[in-house]
Structure 1
Amino acid sequence: MDTDEKLLRSLTSITRTSNDSRLSFEEKLQRILSEMVSCMGTERGSIMIAKRGRFLSVAASTDPRLIGEKQPVSEDAPSCWVFKNKKMLAIGKTADRKAFCNRFDHYRKDAFLLMPVLNQNRVIGIITLTEKIGADRFTKADQQILLTLSAHVISALENHRLTESLRKKKRLLKQKNEKLQKLERIRTELFNMLIHDLKGPLSEVIANIDILSYTVNGDNLEYVDSARTGCDTLFRMVADLLDIARMEEGSLKLAMEKIAPSDLIRESLARLQAISKSRNVRMIQKIPDVSAGLEANADRALLLRVLQNLLTNAIQFSDPGETVVVGFEPVEPHQILFYVQDNGPGIPAQYHDAVFDKFTQIGARRDGRKYSTGLGLTFCRMAVSSHQGTIRVISDGVHGSRFEFTVPRHI
């Protein structure tokens, strides 16, 4: 077999080995080294890997005992010289050999050949061949053959470097994610604890305001009503926060029962009389003729708060003297559709989905002020979804908004 044919066979074998995904990195290097030793006609050889630019580590060797050995690049050794100078080193005479202090004495022959494996002018590995069979020297042709072979080792070494880099980044990312998840759990627990603790003193304030309303009359009663409305709104916000957290955790249990939709609407309107009066917004209920015997299968408390949130938003975004309409109607298949219609500024089409996200701020009102949907609509979406229903907003962004949601009928 002539030299060219032998080189071609070795290159083919090295390429096949480098691309074999079934082999580990160590197995690939060992097979590649064996092929190079055979092609170059030597008895010994090794492949060293550069580690963080501080030392060289033996990754493959014809002597298994050397695998894993490390050599600082600061030493006076042939491999260190090649690493620093990024050049091939060919030694053929005893005098040349003695130029390096740290060269093992157990070699039987003088000649050895070292080739840097370069990638973007950076040494990523070093190939060492010693104990040349036959003449104790490496010819120019041998050096050219090793140069050709080393070019095909780059892919195996660089793929390993990239894999190690990716594995390290993945490990760091996992650690950061675990830390973030821990911080998020702490934040959530603290948040829920604070919100839960707010309910106690807030309930006490509301109770005392109710008592105070029986002892105050005249103009002062208006201030008491305003304080009670503010506390009611704050109480709903606290309840929304707690229930959103429970629904996100999947720990909120629904208390399903048969509910007359007309009763639900009347109760929600009664609870918001004070705020609608203070805003000078009239509320109208529309009860269909077919409402007799019509019942929803739902959690009464949750649906009542859904209606209250939608009505509160409609009142807040309506100008004085405007009208808010609330009603329901049966729809197929076996559902009841509730709706709240206002004549406010409307919601642009691009925000029809975003309004149900937490703390969403939408455009500008006609008076130039920003307004936010806060958590009320987020709670509405999650509460309706927990009933296997849907909720949406219909608006052209100019002539008011209509919020609709569905819940199952009791059959």
Structure 2
Amino acid sequence: MNPRGPGDPARSNGHGSSVRENHGAERLLCAVGELWRAPDLPTLLNVAARAARELTGADGASFVLRDGELCHYAREDAISSLWQGRRFPMSSCVSGWVMRNRRPAIVDDIALDPRIPLGVYRPTFVRSMAMVPIHARAPLGAIGCYWGSTRVATAHEVTLLQALADGAALAMDNIALRERMEKAEARIDELDALTRDLTERHEALAESQRQGDALNELLAHDLRSPAAGILLTARARLRDPALEERERRRWSRVLCSAELIQRTAMNLLDTSSRQLGALVPRLDELDLTALLEEVAEILDPFAASRDQRIALRPGAPRCCRARGDADLLRRVLQNLLDNALRHTPARGAVHVEARPVDARWVEVLVCDEGPGIPAHLRDHIFDRYVRLDDPNVAARSGRGLGLTFCKLAVEAHGGTIEVRDNGDGRPGSCFCARLPAC
């Protein structure tokens, strides 16, 4: 057995001439160049195994990759088959010892070295070997050379083999980097294609939106004129003291319908994407309670036709001063009350209230007795053209513009609007619009 400690490279025995060493250096440079140009890992493994055998004059060479706590014999170049494709525990093979200790292993005679699992080596031609780590600081593999007779690997052979392993480590890093770059470039191409697709869809959607807005404005214009005429006629008829009660009820329903048509036309205009952000309220001091009562009186005939009623909550203040645009807030209240009546069953009631919150804010509450709005749908209730998927709610929904207008108008005042449960276990929803106080 070689008296040197395990892993110590042999000193030159004098047989290697300077000519041979120069040839080895030239072959090493050529091999490193091939490794650096390798397009992928399989090619690199082939180049490294072949070069290791040529540099040392070995009968065989193997390229081992670390696979967790296993040593994977990934490639070999030998006079006969060794262990290509097999995996062994790091604790029971020389390549594992090399990776764990991060230094070469020189075995003059496998029969005399305790690191050798003889049961694995006995069927092969191997009688001596040299193995070096790949990437010594954090080994990711090893390169081994094998001879069919007992011999001592020279220091020059071990140096060449280690230099080859170092070159292979750099080449592997280069391949990994190139693969990451290729994946990144492919991802960039995907994102570019996705961006182009989204841009095209956005442009198509914007064009569709422009066409829709133009149509909405045309419809609103065509609706407002006849609605205004109907309103004038209905109001004139209702001012006639001689009008019979039956006819009065009919004209009241006509008035409500005309109000609804006019409100829908205004909602179409005010919720158009061209008008988003264009609502500028004319602020004056006003009484929200009086405004609520005025709107309730307008919608009373519609409520009566469904055997419903609109009622101020008991104990509500008789006066609630706010600062706002009376026309815009009147339409907000009309939309909220109309929405509440649609969702309240026959013989039910819609409760309304305007009350101060603190020195800065007042709020208007419009509460129905309908089925309520599920919590997961409340974030979308104020979106344009949204009609809820819940069949209990959607059946009574409007066109999806009234609540959108309410949100736009309230926020134009610097306020907020939300929907919540009635509370106390009572069915229905309660819309709360918070506005600046005087």
* TM-score bucket of the superposed structures, by smaller chain: 0.5 to 0.7
* Correspondence for 2:206: 185
Q: Residue 373 of structure 2 corresponds to which residue in structure 1? A: 347
Q: Displacement, 1:314?
A: 1.7
- Report the number of matched residues: 297
Q: Which stretch of the first structure deviates more once superposed, 259-268 or 346-355?
A: 346-355
| SS of alignment partner, residue 152 of structure 1 | helix
Residue 235 of structure 1 aligns with which residue? 262
Kept in 2: contact 1:286–1:328 (CA 8 A): no
Question: The residue matched to 1:361 in structure 2 has which SS?
Answer: coil
Any idea what SS the aligned residue of 1:356 has? coil
Whichever residue aligns with residue 166 of structure 1, its letter is R
1:399 to 427, 431, 436: 427
1:353 and 1:405 map into 2 onto residues whose CA distance is 15
Determine the C-alpha separation between the residues in 1 that align with 2:230 and 2:356. 40
- Normalised by the length of structure 1, the TM-score is 0.58
- Which residue of structure 1 aligns with residue 71 of structure 2? none
Matched, 1:283 2:310: yes
Q: In structure 1, give the amino acid aligned to 2:28.
A: M
- What is the aligned partner in structure 1 of residue 105 from structure 2? none
Instruction: Tell me the CA shift for residue 383 of structure 1.
Output: 2.4
Provide the C-alpha distance between the structure 1 equivalents of 2:26 and 2:341, rounded to a whole number of angstroms.
Answer: 88
Report whether the alignment pairs 1:197 with 2:218: yes
Number of the residue aligned with 2:283? 256
Residue 384 (structure 1) aligns with: 410
Shift of 1:49: 9.2
Measured in 1, the distance between the counterparts of 2:266 and 2:27 equals 78
> What is residue 329 of structure 1 aligned with on the other side?
355
Relative distance call for 1:379 and 1:39 in structure 2 (3 A) is farther
Instruction: Kindly provide the CA deviation profile for residues 18-51 of structure 1, in whole angstroms up to 9, marking residues without a partner as x.
Output: xxxxxxxxxxxxxxxxxxx99933599586697x
1:62-101 paired onto structure 2 within 5 Å? none
Does the CA contact (< 8 Å) of 1:361 and 1:371 recur in 2? no
How far apart, CA to CA, are the structure 2 residues paired with 1:299 and 1:157?
A: 65
Tell me, yes or no, if the aligned pair for 2:337 and 2:366 is still in contact at 8 Å. Answer: yes
Whole-Å separation in 1 of the counterparts to 2:413 and 2:310: 26
For residues 409 and 314 of structure 1, what CA distance do their matches in structure 2 show?
25
Gap runs ≥5 in structure 2: 1-6, 9-24, 52-159
1:348 and 1:395 in contact (8 A); partners too? no
Q: Does 2:186 correspond to 1:165?
A: yes
Q: TM-score, normalised by structure 2?
A: 0.55
2:325 counterpart of 1:299? yes
Sequence identity (%)? 24
8 Å Cα contact 2:213/2:273 also seen in 1: no
* Matching residue within 397, 400, 414 for 1:372: 397
* Shift, 1:165, TM fit: 1.1
Task: Give the partner amino acid of 2:179.
Answer: E
Q: Aligned to 2:373, what secondary structure does the other structure show?
A: coil
CA displacement 1:262-313 (0-9 Å, x = unmatched): 3311331233233223222222235968655x52111222211111111112
Q: How does 1:105-124 map to 2 (within 5 A)?
A: none
Deviation at 1:251, TM superposition (A): 2.7
Mapped to 1, the partners of 2:182 and 2:328 lie a distance apart of: 57
Which one-letter code corresponds to 1:296 in the other structure? A
Q: AA paired with 2:322? A: A
Q: Which residue of 2 aligns with 1:78?
A: none
The answer to whether the 8 Å contact 1:391/1:406 transfers is yes
Taking the aligned partners of 1:407 and 1:90, their CA distance within structure 2 comes to 80
**1:272 & 1:361 partners in 2: Cα distance?**
24
Equivalent residue letter for 1:255: R
Could you give the per-residue CA deviations for residues 215-267 of structure 1, whole angstroms, max 9, x where no partner exists? 89887887765555444324323422432345984232222221121331133
